[in-house]
Amino acid sequence: MVRLGRSRQVLGAAALVTAVLSAAGCQGVSVGHAAAHRPGAGVTPGAQTSTASPQPSATPAVVSVTPADKAAGVLPTAGVEVRATTGSLGEVTVKDSAGKPVDGHVQGGAWHYTGRLRPGTAYTVTVTATGPDGRASLTTSTFTTLTPKVTATYGILSAGQTVGVGMPVRIQFDSPVATKAMRAQVEKLVSVTTTPKQQGAWGWLDDRQLMWRPATYWRPGTTVTVRAPLTGVQTGPDKWVANDDQASFTVGAAMISTVNIKTHMMTVTRGGQVLRTIPVSTGKPGPLTETRSGTKVVIGKDGQITMDSATVGIPKGDPNYYKIDTKWNLRLTWTGEFIHSAPWSVNAQGSENVSHGCTNLSPANAEWMFANSRPGDIVKFVGSNRPFLPTEGIGVWQYSFAGWKAQSALH
């Protein structure tokens, strides 16, 4: 009886301990240091375990923009770079204050613009990107290019005109392009397209005049297109170009005249056919009055001009001074040579040279010549010991083609 009673007490105590341990496990109570570090401690055999998925960190995209935000005085040649240093790059837009976009490209994981920017202009950079956390972001940055002391200006001459076969492409700057390296940069950027295609070359007549001439005279009917994307080009100390330009012109008939200074006659041809032979009187002998020999180009036309020799270095009071009204003027040089009407020298025309350097025609012949000529027509002068210097007019034809190519700043 006693043994049986004790046995039941032991079993009852064991059951009580088991119940307490089970209750402790259900409530998450710590099971103590030793039990917690014993293999299998606290794990019910056959039970499944689970591990929670890690949550993404809240890491936004980080975008780097060069030039820096609010940068001022940025060189037009500095370019633009946009890079996502954290996350991935989305859309990039760069616009000036007028809303004109800058076209860049993606390379090496970054957006680049390596062209030239407009001087004195504010630009806004807008960037979308996606961070490692998957969230989209928008970054805006601004910068301003330098404002030069001088804005270089230029023009493409003969735009929209029909010209003679001798008229070169002419890009003329209002002030010198200071160095050969700067002229070379201009020359690399400009281009000429001709239809039909013709061989030609760029050269500098001086440090303001860049010209492209064909190897020989233009073919009549040629269309010429000139492009000058020169925005952001430096042409001198603190002097920069702020615009692009382009223009086209067409080439008319081949009107070529030859003036023989010794025989006092001018022969006018068109398309190789003689149109008229005209008596003339050219410049009388003398260092300031003799007409220059060489191949000249008609620069322009003016129905009436008051010619004053003081403008070409012969002042009032000099024995050779003159001031006179003339009609039907075709300008051949910047130094005062014209073909024009000269009723006062009709008796000398065809027999004697009496002018101050111009080519004198009778009123009727001068009016006919004026009506049938256009800028770009060729007028060759032979028989004088005084040479026509290329910079005295449109002097590209004073060079051989090889000589003209040597006028390039790229050589």
Q: For 43-58, what is the mean pLDDT?
A: 50
Q: What pTM value is reported for the model?
A: 0.82
340 is catalytic: yes
Q: Which residue among 26, 37, 264, 358 is the active-site one?
A: 358
Reported residue count of the chain is: 411
Give the position of tokens 């061989």: 199
What is the three-class DSSP state of 10? helix
Q: What pLDDT does residue 57 have?
A: 62
Q: Is residue 237 within 8 Å of 228, Cβ to Cβ?
A: no
Left (φ > 0), alpha (ψ -120 to 50) or beta: where does 32 sit?
A: left
112 belongs to the catalytic site: no
Cα distance between residue 347 and residue 335, in whole Å: 26
- The CATH H-level superfamily of 255-393 is L,D-transpeptidase catalytic domain-like (2.40.440.10)
What does the longest C-alpha to C-alpha distance in the chain come to? Answer: 173
Q: What is the DSSP letter of 407?
A: T
Query: Domains of the chain: which residue ranges?
Result: 62-145, 150-252, 255-393
pLDDT value of residue 14: 40
Over range 129-151, report the average pLDDT: 96
pLDDT tens-digit map of 182-235: 999 999 999 999 999 999 999 999 999 999 999 999 999 999 999 999 999 999
Q: 62-145 and 150-252: same fold?
A: yes
pLDDT at 20: 33
DSSP assignment of 263-276 equals: TTEEEEEETTEEEE
CATH of domain 150-252: 2.60.40.3710
Q: Catalogue the E-assigned strands of 261-362.
A: 265-270, 273-279, 294-297, 300-308, 323-331, 338-341, 359-361
Which of 105, 340, 356, 411 is an active site residue?
Answer: 340
User: Does pLDDT of 333 surpass 50?
Assistant: yes
Res 54: pLDDT: 55
Q: What is the mean pLDDT of the chain?
A: 88
DSSP characters for 192-253?
Answer: EEEES---EEEEESSSSEEEEEESSSPPTT-EEEEEE--TT-EEETTEEE---EEEEEEE--
Q: Which residues are registered as beta bridge partners of 124?
A: 95, 142
Judge residue 134's burial from the number of C-beta atoms within 10 Å of its C-beta, 0-12 exposed, 13-18 middle, 19 or more buried: exposed
Q: Please state which CATH class domain 62-145 belongs to.
A: mainly beta
Q: Give yes or no for residue 18 having a pLDDT over 90.
A: no
